[in-house]
A and B are shown apart, each in its own frame.
Chain A
Amino acid sequence: MVNDGAPDVEVVARVLGGDGEAFGILIRRYEPGLLRFATRMLGNPDAAADAVAESLVRAYRHLAQCRDPARLRSWLYRITGNRCRSHLARRHTNDIPLSEAPAPALADNTDAWATLERSEQMALVERALSALPAEKREAFVLKHVEGMSYEEMAAVTGARIPTLKMRVHRAREALLVALEEVVR
């Protein structure tokens, strides 16, 4: 019986050895991050749940093809990212449907960001993020929400590190402009 704290390599070996239930450990370990990532990419929790569920089932089916189980996290994010891109491609555009809550009117801009309620801040940030092209949105989320290094981001996305740095920089610029416009 493999325990919940066992390293990924050990858990993967158990699963490949026939203990399918051990895959539940990996799900519990990575599901929150994958759901968060997919939700930020797709803008819709239900679609994100579908994408993550499909990705995890796919990961299980192809677990033997994971060449480096020590980097399982990157592999799972890569599969999920591909699944999200597939969902986005089906929508024709990268637009993300969001609730049409009106932007709050702000009379005082001295510390406008701080005066916003958390839910209002959340709505604004989500809207700003959704306006980014998918590649920049993905780069920003992996870097700043999932806290990945550029090396790990390269393993997840298949893009080169300079390219990823450029995407993150551009995403920051666009987000900053969007957030400043709202609170100004």
Chain B
Amino acid sequence: MRRATALALAMALAVPLPLGAQTTGSTRLVGRVPPAAQPAIDSIIAIAVAESLPTEPLIQKTLEGSAKNVPPDRLVSGVRRGLLQLRAAHLIVAEALPGQPVPDAHVVAVAAALARGVPEPIVTRLVTLAPTEAPGPALHAVADLIAHHFNPDSAVDLLVEAHNKGLRGMRLLDVAVAADHYLQRGGGRTPAEALAHVRAMLPNVPPAEAVTRHGTNGS
């Protein structure tokens, strides 16, 4: 009951946020970038444009660093790092989709996974698994498992099996949530046992909402 009240309050407070103005990057950066960093940032974004890489992550990284008052040299370095991740991501996606246009959303999702520390071979395997599907949820799922100290190879094996059994999109995220949730119950359970447990229930992993509700009530 308390939870229902809290949820209702949260909903009442919820306000639709204006998405970052849907304008060009340069417009959104005006007045927000330290002058010392501006030429280098412009140059990095121009390179991304020339290489057909998505620029939105670079614009976001610039806005973030500026908002945090990061010194110009580190700001530029951070944005350049973003460019390198986008390049690596583009190559991975291009190889998975030979002869086809490379979707920006795929590149952004892969770059985000690389930023989260997912090893490139793992990323490549998941992207190659279903090249035309949005890779974001599967990549986040494996990143979550790796961050929670599951063996990366075993984690991706589980996700591949889940995909083979028909789970798609956010349902793949549910697989990671289920494995982590099983582990969190304690009792000396190991990650290997958690993965085996979830594998045995595939494709019927509980939707995240159910897991979430359970966790809230149980804490």
Chain A residues in contact with chain B, CB under 8 A?
Answer: 50, 54, 86-87, 90-92, 97
With a cutoff of 8 Å between Cβ atoms, the chain A residues found around residue B84 in the complex are 50
Asked if residues A50 and B52 are in contact (CB atoms below 8 Å), the reply is no
Q: A29 vs B170: C-alpha distance in the bound complex, in angstroms? A: 47
- A53 CA / B80 CA spacing, docked (Å): 18
Contact of A50 among B50, B53, B87, B94 (CB under 8 A): B87
Binary interface profile of B, 88-123, with partner A (CB < 8 Å = 1, else 0)? 101100100000000000000000000000000000
User: Could you tell me the distance in whole angstroms from the C-beta of A54 to the nearest C-beta in chain B?
Assistant: 6
Interface size on B, residues (CB 8 A): 11
**Are B91 and A86 in contact, with the CB atoms below 8 A?**
yes
Select from chain A the residue with minimum beta-carbon distance to B124: A61
Main secondary structure of the interface of B (DSSP, over half): helix
- In the complex, the answer to whether A54 meets B51 with C-beta atoms within 8 Å is no
Closest chain B residue, CB of each to CB of A87: B51
Q: Which of A87, A90, A97 has the most CB of B within 10 A?
A: A90
Instruction: Give the complex CA separation of A13 and B157 in angstroms.
Output: 30
Complex Cα–Cα for A92 and B84 (A) = 18
Contacting residues, chain B, for A90 (C-beta < 8 A): 51-53, 90
The 8 A-B pairs of least Cβ separation, nearest first, read: A90-B51, A91-B50, A90-B52, A91-B51, A50-B87, A54-B91, A92-B52, A90-B90
Bound together, the chains give a CA A24 to CA B189 distance in angstroms of: 41
Kindly identify, within residues 55 to 93 of chain B, every residue whose CB is under 8 Å from any CB belonging to chain A. Answer: 84, 87-88, 90-91
Nearest chain B CB to A177 CB, angstrom units:
27
Shortest CB–CB separation between residue A60 and chain B, in angstroms?
12
Contact A92 B91 (CB under 8 A): no
